[in-house]
Chain A
Amino acid sequence: MTQHSRDLSRRRLLFGGAAVGAATLLTACTSNDTPAASTQTKAAGNSEGNNAPGKKVVIGFSAPAADHGWMGAIHANAKAQAAAYSDVEFKEVDGGSNSEAQRSTLGTLIAQKPDIIVVLPHDGKEVNAVALQAMQAGIPIVNLDRAFPDALASRLVIKGDNYGMGVSAGHYIGKMLKDKGVANPIIGEIAGLEIPLTVERSEGFKAALATYGFKVNNRRSAEFTSDSGQREASQLLQALPKIDAIWNHDDDQGIGVLAAIKQANRSEFFMVGGAGSKLAIDAIKADNTVLKATVTYNPSMASSAVSLARLVAQGRGLGDLTELQVPKEVTLASETITKENASSYDKLGF
């Protein structure tokens, strides 16, 4: 309660524009705040302020049933992040195995009137109507990863950059091959389940490769599982007796892809992964497989979504931004993890 009122009073001060002194007092321990830079807006964006306990909020959470590594990490991350805040009550409902199931459990969740709901929909289009209903009922929706077509259906969208992921992979492969002086490279692609995000990834990949004058020679789509990755990779290797590079969309299915490569006894090419799993990061560091890089699409976004949901529900702004409220859209950058920078990604590996 005392925390709460202190927080409120601070905000009132900030709103009042008399914050220079107050902010300095409250944030005196943050050493990099020079007095000159300590303006009103700067104070609002103090990250320590974000972590300080605020109003107690209930955050609802719904994501598809976790049946593979990435989705499992989404659930685990959201839960862990919520547990890190003393002022958050986390209410997870079963997202089921399809949109139909998710819609019905979301309906139940809305009826319980949480302060805010984080939703990773099976398909944004199919869950849009329920999200809209929640928004109209005064419950803000934080849309995680798979965007709703209707902008009114969410207060905030936080997602990975699927197109950008393809672009990062394409540039890494393009640059490597260009540097090696390969003129007409044979490039293979092992995509994931054929859903819109996979299509976006492939489009980004194609576009980035095109800037080097390269193209994909054979594309197989697996199902984000290691056994399907093995199956498709073994067929791809059979189709292309000589390969220069492969992009595999997902590190979990990559376990199977690497197994297939080992079983076929092939190593004349290098591979780029996707997502940034712990196993992939370790393999890149060890540098003893064809996997030389992976482009991130990190389930850490679930942690970020819960953090932002908390701030939205508490009406607070986001650290390091001058705005008083959390922005409406956050798209993560897809970074490229290589042997050189792999160790700095250890904490994000899932």
Chain B
Amino acid sequence: MSDATPTPTATPERPQLPAQSPPVDPAETAVASNKSGSGGKLSWWRGDGGDGAKRNLGLIGVLAALIVVGAVTKPDLYGDPNWVWNNVLAILQLASVVGVVTVGMTFVIIGGGIDLSVGAIVALAGVWCTTVATQSYGAAGMIFTALAVGICVGLVNGVLISYGRLVPFIATLAMLVAARGLAASISNKQTQVSSSTFINDIAARKVIGIPILVYILGAVVLAGWVVLNRTTFGRRTIAVGGNPEAARLAGINVRRHTMLLYALSGLCCGIAAIMLTSQATSAQAAMANLYELDAIAAAIIGGTLLSGGRGTIVGSLLGVIIFATITNLFAINGLSIEAQNMVKGGIIVAAVLVQQFQFKSVTRLLARNRVTTAT
């Protein structure tokens, strides 16, 4: 069974399941991850979920439908290929900051936790790297500060949760409040304008016609995909999220691993803070408002199981891009933010309903599969 190498396109009706997914039996997953790095040929969008391909195809379908809606509602704009290309870039830029945060969030959720403090960490890291004192060290100092603050705050979350035994929801909720408070006091309640042209130019510059922020998003997504699907760290994350006790019995240091997951999320927030500061050429305590909800929603739409143990980076990326496309679509048509938020809410509910349905059918399939392999 562990050598099963299904081709998703060949057997869509009754997919055989690879060994490491979905981790209904996490101990087995954990052991499998320790034994061999990869489970054979996985197509690029598969990630770890057995139904990942189907889901991601579904998300691409939703995206396509949204673009068709855009084209139908604004034929004059979509008639200009130059504009369409620019709009694709505008959507990707819109998705870039939340996208980076979502990669970290996906790891935390797959690992069985939740991080409500990401927006606040982005604000704190952004505000800290734009204080007058920090700016005097130049762009390198600002970037270092943002990353260091992100990682440190993430580590505090991680230590509280794994060693302090706080529920992730509570620990990160407390951090949400505290980090924004600290950000407000550091920024002296004012908008901190970045005077570093290097930082400000990150968002303004393009390389081969594509904005630098989009490259950063691409790099973070690629790194996240590699770590989740091709490293022991990734396999352990899935094992810890699926069943921490089984993971512990399999020899994984669950506490340390959990702590590192939050630090990873913090690092992503630090990167996002630099990107956002660059976009807005400034930072303030209220920035990155509600990013935690956007990131969680995108991860869930992308197929990450809120109870942990399953999820894909590509799915999360698609979730973020779908949200950005909706925002763009509403802006292009001059529709209100309220209507836009209602549509977003509807999409989240629909995605979770679909997920539950799919998950049930997958567990049924699994059960059937196991019976056949046992006999």
Contact = CB atoms under 8 A, between A and B. Distances in A.
Nearest to B278: A259
Residue picked from A75, A236, A263, most chain B C-beta under 10 Å = A263
A230 interface: yes
B86 A238 contact: yes
A299 to B, nearest CB: 12
B363 interface: no
B203 A255 contact: no
A225 B337 contact: no
A14 interface: no
A227 B327 contact: no
A227 B279 contact: yes
A236 B34 CA distance: 51
A67 B284 contact: yes
Interface stretch (A80-88, A154-162, A214-222, A337-345): A214-222
Interface in A107-122: none
Contacts of B276: 227
Contacts of A53: none
Contacts, number: 114
Contacts of A76: 189
B62 interface: no
Interface string B319-358: 0000000011001111011100000000000000000000
Contacts of B5: none
Interface string B262-290: 00000000000000100111111111110
B67 interface: no
Interface residues of A, number: 40
Interface in B83-105: 83, 86-87, 90, 93-94
A75 B185 CA distance: 13
Contacts of A72: 188-190
A178 B334 CA distance: 24
Interface in A41-84: 65-69, 71-72, 75-76
Contacts of B71: none
A226 B331 contact: no
A66 B185 CA distance: 10
A4 interface: no
Contacts of B189: 66-68, 71-72, 75-76
A194 B87 CA distance: 26
Contacts of B334: 217-219, 239
Given A72-B190, A263-B204, A255 B289 contact: no
A22 interface: no
A220 B191 contact: no
B284 A239 contact: no
B331 A232 contact: yes
A256 interface: yes
A234 B90 contact: yes
Interface of A: 65-69, 71-72, 75-76, 194, 217-221, 223-232, 234-236, 238-239, 241, 252, 255-256, 258-260, 262-263, 279
16 contacts: A67-B286, A68-B190, A76-B189, A218-B331, A225-B287, A227-B287, A227-B288, A234-B90, A234-B94, A238-B86, A238-B90, A239-B333, A256-B282, A259-B204, A259-B282, A263-B204
